[in-house]
Structure formats: C-alpha cells, structure tokens
A and B are shown apart, each in its own frame.
Chain A
Amino acid sequence: NAGVTQTPKFQVLKTGQSMTLQCAQDMNHNSMYWYRQDPGMGLRLIYYSASEGTTDKGEVPNGYNVSRLNKREFSLRLESAAPSQTSVYFCASSEKLAGSEQFFGPGTRLTVL
C-alpha cells in the first residue's frame, strides 16, 4: 500500500514554461486535493475533487488547472509558470469530502526562475 504518490519530487522551470504534477492514491478514496505550502503561510488549498468527475476551486486557484483522470489520479497543471508559483506542492486524498482525515503525499518542490 503506497498511499499517495507524487511525481516528480523536484522540478525547476523557467518563467512561462508549463508542466503537470501527477498524483495517484491506492486507498480507494473518493476525494482528492492539491495544496501549496509556503514558509509562514501554512497549507493552502488550490483545487479539490469531491469525487471522480468533479473538480472545484480552492483558496488559491489562479494560474492552475486540474484534471481528475479517474478515481485514483488527480493532476495539477501550470500552463505558464511564474516565480510566484515557486513552492512545495502536496496532493492529498480522503475517504469523503467532509468529516474524514486527509492523507498526504511526499510533495513536489518546484522552483520557477
């Protein structure tokens, strides 16, 4: 049972480049999430997917898009990266949207030059 996996672990982009962060979970969870973590700001929700086939904006969605590919996989895309998107990105999943704990992946450390 791998839990939540993310690829890549590290990435360096130049301003304006695009990339997709991949996330998969093997816990048969319905809900999945993308967060970013910046020093002193805590974890902030970018997008979430309550269940397969649905996605919704979180607290800081600008500059990002997501795809819930199937029940297991939830990807995050940066279409035109900006230095302000330099951060650590975490994917998480939970059994249901409300009332259940979220389990996090190991993170992707992204630097945009």
Chain B
Amino acid sequence: EDQVTQSPEALRLQEGESSSLNCSYTVSGLRGLFWYRQDPGKGPEFLFTLYSAGEEKEKERLKATLTKKESFLHITAPKPEDSATYLCAVQASGSWGKLQFGAGTQVVVTP
C-alpha cells in the first residue's frame, strides 16, 4: 500500500532561518511526487512536480529535491508570507493516477 509520511508535523522559524521539510514515501513505482502549499481556509495550491530521483525544482525561496525514498522541500531565508501548511503527495505508476497525500507540515515564520 502506498504511504506518505511528512516530518516534522510543525515547524516554527525565525525570518531568514532556512530549513527543510521531509516527505518519505513508499510506492510500488513512482510516477510523480507533488508539493502543494495550503493557506488556512483555502484550497491547496500547486507548487512542484518531481518525476525522477535527482530532479530538483525551484521557485523563489523554495527548492524541492527527490531521491528514491524521499523528497525535501528547502525553504531558504523564509519570510512571514511563507507561513502555510505544505503538503506532499505521490502518484504510483501502474495506478490510474490516484494521489496519496501526506498529513502536511505546518510552517510558521515569525518576523
């Protein structure tokens, strides 16, 4: 059974204090790994898709990386507006395309 585990559950950062979020996954074969950002009271907002080990993608202060067992979302010099819950989801190859979501990491960045 496909499983996705995100850690830590919550992260409190000072503005400018870089850190990383972890997404560990177990799937029979990976078609894609997706990162989303979710603000309170809103729907998840798509950030990145990673398809193969070694792949990296960047967007402003965020950088996502992928290995065969986990993905990291690095937040460099965060600002208060980066405060959100970050969700990771995997899609297994050979499946019809179902996304298996992790429970998320809640990030709070204080000035």
Q: Given the known inter-chain contacts A50-B96, A98-B96, A99-B97, please indicate yes or no for A41 contacting B103, CB distance below 8 A.
A: yes
Q: Determine if A42 and B103 form an interchain contact, defined as CB atoms under 8 angstroms apart.
A: yes
Residue from B4, B99, B102 within 8 A of A102 (CB atoms): B99
A contact residues vs B (CB 8 Å cutoff) = 4, 31, 40-45, 48, 50, 56, 58-59, 90, 92, 94, 96-99, 101-107
The total of Cβ contacts below 8 Å across the A-B interface reads 57
For the complex of A and B, 3 pairs with smallest distance between CB atoms:
A98-B97, A104-B43, A97-B97
Q: Determine if B31 and A98 form an interchain contact, defined as CB atoms under 8 angstroms apart.
A: yes
B98 in the interface (beta carbon within 8 A): yes
B91 in the interface (beta carbon within 8 A): yes
Q: Smallest CB–CB gap between A79 and chain B, Å?
A: 25
In this complex, how many residues of chain B approach chain A with their Cβ under 8 Å: the count is: 24
B contact residues vs A (CB 8 Å cutoff) = 4, 31-32, 34, 36, 41-46, 49, 87, 89, 91, 95-99, 101-104
A50 CA to B97 CA in the complex, in Å? 9
A31 CA to B87 CA in the complex, in Å? 21
Q: Determine if B46 and A103 form an interchain contact, defined as CB atoms under 8 angstroms apart.
A: yes
